Amino acid sequence: MKIFEVIEAKKLPKSDDDLDDVMDKPEDPEADKVPHILMQLRKALDVDGEYPITFKDGKKLKLPMEIIVSFIKRYMEARPDEKESLQSQAGNSLEGFVAALKSPRTPKHQHKIKGDRYMSSFAGDFDDK
């Protein structure tokens, strides 16, 4: 008796409910989501505003270049926590986009140390005074 005959003899019969043979691809959870608002705006910037921006409410609009540039500039100047709120608010609808664009900016804090010098990431580490 050869080895492949032994292996064939020990195989169990397949049942109808055996799911191992089913080759279904898992559904992509990202398939139905709207792309990130900043990526859409950058695509629109590359083609001079001729790319429609898709919002979560289902509307697609082409925005003027001035608005695209001002939002990207506003987003890049924002702090990380502000960026998250900007993208969630702007991605919902056109009204949310306008509200995010008009939202007040929080000033960057500069903490002074000893007179007119400002803190940096090494503040105090190499301070000899």
Closest CA to 56 of 35, 81, 26: 35
Mean local confidence (pLDDT), 22-30: 60
Q: What is the pLDDT of residues 6-18, one digit of tens each?
A: 777 666 555 555 5
Closest CA to 100 of 56, 70, 59, 80: 70
Q: What are phi and psi of 113, to 5 degrees?
A: -125, 130
Q: How confident is the model at residue 103 (pLDDT cuts 50, 70, 90)?
A: confident
Structure letter (DSSP) for residue 95? H
Residue 27: its pLDDT value, please? 63
> What is the C-alpha to C-alpha distance for residues 21 and 66, in angstroms, rounded to an integer?
55
The answer to whether residues 128 and 120 touch, using CB atoms and an 8 Å cutoff, is: no
Per-domain boundaries in the chain:
37-102
pTM of the model: 0.59
> What is the C-alpha to C-alpha distance for residues 39 and 93, in angstroms, rounded to an integer?
16
Q: How confident is the model at residue 70 (pLDDT cuts 50, 70, 90)?
A: very high
| Sequence letter at residue 62 | K
> What is the C-alpha to C-alpha distance for residues 72 and 84, in angstroms, rounded to an integer?
13
